[in-house]
Amino acid sequence: MAEDKFEQAVIDKLKSEGWEYLTDYSGVTVDRLYDHWRDILNANNRKRLENTPLGGNHE
């Protein structure tokens, strides 16, 4: 139960700092989280990556 309270406290703090809680990513696999993070990195660094997206191998 303490873990649930800690998790909620972290979520509340991040939301208070302007972060958005994405319920679509709650309870998903680690692979899906890696894919989402890679998508963000690719989108935010498209020019630096010279339009060559980062690959999907995250092992």
Residues 37, 39, 25, CA angle at the centre, nearest 5°?
50
The predicted pLDDT at position 59 comes to: 55
Instruction: Please state the φ and ψ torsions of residue 49, each to the nearest 5 degrees.
Output: -80, 0
pLDDT digits (tens, 9 = 90+) for 4-59: 999 999 999 999 999 999 888 888 999 999 999 999 999 999 999 988 888 876 55
The residue with tokens 């498209």 is 46
In 3D space, the residue among 20, 59, 13, 10 whose CA is nearest the CA of residue 40 turns out to be: 20
d(CA 9, CA 1): 13
